[in-house]
Structure 1
Amino acid sequence: MKLQQSLALLFLASLSSIACAAPLKVAGIPDDKKLHLTLVKEVVKRSDRFDGIEYIYAQTGQPADTRLQADLESGKLDILWTATSTDLEKRFIPVRFPIFRGLLGMRIGLIHQKDSQLLSSVQSKADLMRFKICSGKTWPDTHILDANGLVTAQSLKYPNMFEMMLAGNRCHFFARGVMEPFAEVAYHPELPLAVDSNIMLRYRMPYMIFVSKSNPDLADHLLEIMTEIFDEGLYEEMFFNDSEVKAVLSQANLDNRVIIELDNPYLTDETRSIPERFFYNPLQP
């Protein structure tokens, strides 16, 4: 009789769990192969809180960041993914798992084709101060470069920076995330663009998932599952099998560059304390 009662209680508990499960509301589209969605799909598969994923902008198209953030606060969205900032961490709760394992804070330069050896003598931040770096006027990266005493030439308009760099009188190279410059060279065959092969700037700018301030238990739940995925070794497989990451590692030659370490003064102490093991270091075997 006791065994029957125990089985009945287990059955009722499982029904209750199923009844409480709901879809996780996210941006993006179902067939998106981006690394952050690959991770989210695995998290949902392992969680007893969700019965699937709802892509709330699948029919209308993804809105601007300001709308995404407003929808997260209102509960229309459950999570959003973006590069962190102190302002975002005041407004939302970050799930402190760096999805791109630090690649977002690795910057390499677009240069003029004739300047392939322009940066070959750079061995330190002091050496780099001889050069002007093109960057967006409102970009977080520009604020980091400025805070480190580097010389920047800024523009509000992204296309202008190609002209500024190629003209040779405004800046020497255009600092880009490691995932960006090779695609830009391919996209602009009419321009004499090349990717510098000598140096890489590196600072911490984790790309993380954020949840509403009203949902701290969700942040804890997501981090627990993400840590489990990482500790099993599955996330390393996801990371190195991601098409964008593969392209970067095959083209950027990161382990043969001089790395110029920069400080990001716009990180919270909590984000600075993210375990080092979560980050990818191209200089480690």
Structure 2
Amino acid sequence: MKLAFLLASVSLSLFSLDSFAASLRVAGSVNDHKLYLTLLKEIVKRSDKYDSLDYVYAKNGEPAVTRVYADLEADRLDVYWTATSIELESRFAPVRFPIYRGMLGMRIGMIHQKDANMLANVRNKTDMMKYSICSGKTWSDTQILESNGFTIAKSLKYKNIFEMMLAGNRCHLFARGLMEPFNEMRTYPELPLAVDKHVMLRYQMPYMFFVNKNNPQLAAHLLQIIEEIFEDGTYEKLFFNEPEVKAVLAQANVSQRVVIELENPYLTEATRSIPKKYFYDPLQP
């Protein structure tokens, strides 16, 4: 009887351990309503391994991206999100789903209000290359733009880029993903910012989740749930209800812009093979 009782107790304990769901350690903050965190919240609702998000940098604020990458490698962070590249996919395990459905590869210029018509006469890539572009030093966009021959002014810190453009005169425009600048103008109403209405640069650049290279099981777990979220129509609702996406569809006037197609030489073949159904093209009717 005693042996049977002990075995039953051990079995119950093991069951309890197996059924325990952990927190998924992420960057960002609890008040951040970006699409990648909205998606992660939906993922943990459906996961049998995770039941909540743990915002690792909640107390001290998010550090430079180099520190974030180091934390991901050191297993102090479970998930991060960024535009992909060959280098990142060799360093981390990618979750091959384009969170913004390809729209971050569509770049429009944030400019000084006084330069509203600066790009009005741009008709092609040669015309556009007369203007210098601000971008993040470690961003995948920077490598892509440089590989296409553009002059780039770089900064490690995101907020410094506005000063470089507005006050420092180190660049003509800040190239932003299609859905980004309208929200940024609301975030920084004190700055004399405007969004160029004339040109859009476009290249393939999926924005994806990344996890520790030694944890491909987590990458597979996240992708499986994301595929379920997409197939049942939930992601369609999350995407079109995202404030930044709403803003771009209402304000970007994509059909009235000169579209300059660029090459992205920094994609792996696996990423080039992401199913087309996951992407969204606002140029299509």
Note whether the superposition's TM-score is higher than 0.5: yes
Per-residue deviation, residues 98-136 of structure 1 (Å, max 9, x unmatched): 11112222111234556544434434324434x223224
Counterpart residue number, 2:5: none
* Structure 2 match to 1:161: 165
The 5 Å alignment of 1:209-224 reads 209-224=209-224
Taking only aligned residues, the RMSD between alpha carbons, in angstroms, comes to: 3.0
Cα distance between partner residues in 1 of 2:71 and 2:81: 13
Counterpart of 2:133, as a letter, is C
- Are positions 1:125 and 2:114 aligned together? no
Contact kept in structure 2, 1:93 and 1:210, CA below 8 Å: yes
- What is the deviation of 1:183? 5.0
| SS, match of residue 109 in structure 1 | strand
Asked if residue 252 in structure 1 is aligned to residue 256 in structure 2, the reply is no
Can you list the C-alpha shifts for 1:121-175, whole angstroms capped at 9, x where unaligned? 434324434x22322473532332221234x25254521222465xxxx765443
Q: For 2:208 and 2:33, how far apart are their aligned partners in 1?
A: 17
Matches within 5 A, 1:66-81: 66-81=66-81
Structure 1, 55-64 or 89-98: larger mean CA deviation = 55-64
Matched ranges for 1:1-285 at <5 A: 15=15, 19-111=19-111, 113=113, 115-129=115-129, 131-136=130-135, 138=137, 139-150=139-150, 152=151, 154-156=153-155, 158=161, 159-163=163-167, 172-182=172-182, 187=188, 191=192, 193-285=193-285
> Which stretch shifts more, 174-183 or 23-32?
174-183
CA contact (8 A) 2:254 2:282 kept: yes
Distance of 2:278 and 2:60 partners within structure 1 = 35
Unaligned runs of 5+ in 2: 1-10
By how many angstroms is 1:34 displaced?
A: 1.4
Amino acid at match of 1:196: D
Structure 2: distance between partners of 1:214 and 1:179: 33
Alpha-carbon distance between aligned partners in 2 of 1:66 and 1:124, rounded to the nearest angstrom: 35
Task: Show the counterpart of 1:4.
Answer: none
State the one-letter code of the partner of 2:49: R
Where does structure 1 lack aligned partners over 5 or more consecutive residues? 1-10
> How far apart, in 2, do the equivalents of 1:114 and 1:54 lie?
43
| Superposed displacement of residue 51, structure 1 | 2.7
Deviation at 1:20, TM superposition (A): 4.3
d(CA) in 2 for partners of 1:175, 1:282: 18
Aligned equivalent of 1:3: none
Q: Distance in 2 between matches of 1:137 and 1:16?
A: 46
1:176 aligned counterpart, secondary structure:
strand
Whole-angstrom CA distance in 2 between matches of 1:181 and 1:133: 18
* Aligned CA distance change for structure 1 residues 153 and 91 (closer, same or farther; 3 Å): closer
Q: Specify the alignment match of 2:8 in structure 1.
A: none
Shift of 1:56: 2.6
Q: Is the 8 A contact 1:86 1:267 kept in 2?
A: yes
Query: Counterpart of 1:89 in 2: which secondary structure?
Result: helix
The residue matched to 2:19 in structure 1 has which SS? Answer: helix
Query: CA 1:39 to 1:153, structure 2 compared with 1: closer, same or farther past 3 Å?
Result: closer
The answer to whether the Cα contact below 8 Å between 2:101 and 2:278 also exists between their aligned partners in 1 is: yes
> 22-31 or 197-206, which moves further after superposition?
22-31
Counterparts of 1:195 and 1:86 in 2: how far apart (Å)? 31
Deviation of residue 39 (structure 1)? 0.4
Q: CA deviation at 1:283?
A: 0.9
Cα 1:252/1:48, change in 2 over 3 Å:
same
Shift of 1:55: 2.3
Deviation of the 1:60 alpha carbon = 3.4
**Aligned-partner Cα distance in 2 for 1:137–1:70:** 18
Compared CA separation, residues 116 and 22, structure 1 to 2 (3 A): closer
Letter in 2 for 1:214: N
What TM-score do you get using the length of structure 2 for normalisation? 0.81
Contact 2:83–2:140 at 8 Å: present in 1 too? no
C-alpha distance in structure 1 between counterparts of 2:154 and 2:70, whole Å: 28
Q: CA deviation at 1:255?
A: 3.1
Residues 153, 171 of structure 2: 8 Å contact kept: no
For 1:6, the equivalent position in structure 2 comes to none
